[in-house]
């Protein structure tokens, strides 16, 4: 839980709000899966970059960042 300073100078707890909506999370998941699939068909260093980017996109969709 985060803390916020109000007008009186007191710190109050503030609930975190998810940054990703349901539609955007689904879109990110699909894009992440597509990137991971492309990583299987491309050779060289770029395949690892695509795979890692795909995993990061899926994790951000799951955890809502």
Q: pLDDT: is 15 or 59 the higher one?
A: 59
Q: Contact, 60 vs 35, CB < 8 A?
A: no
Q: What is the tens place of the pLDDT at every residue in 39-52? A: 999 989 999 999 99
Residue 14 has pLDDT above 70, yes or no: no
pLDDT for the residue 64: 78
Residue 5 has pLDDT above 80, yes or no: no
Could you tell me where the DSSP H helices lie in the chain?
A: 22-41, 45-63
pLDDT for the residue 39: 92
Query: Do you know the residue count of the chain?
Result: 65
Cα of 7 vs its chain's centroid, Å = 33
pTM, 2 dp: 0.66
What are the backbone angles phi and psi of residue 44, rounded to the nearest 5°? 95, -165
Write out the two tokens for 60.
Answer: 């951000």
């Amino acid at each position: 839980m985060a803390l916020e300073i109000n007008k009186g100078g007191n710190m109050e707890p503030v609930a975190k709000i998810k940054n990703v909506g349901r539609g955007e999370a689904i879109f990110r998941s699909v894009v992440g899966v597509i990137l991971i699939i492309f990583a299987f068909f491309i050779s060289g260093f770029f395949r690892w970059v695509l795979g890692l980017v795909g995993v990061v996109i899926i994790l951000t969709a799951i955890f809502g960042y």
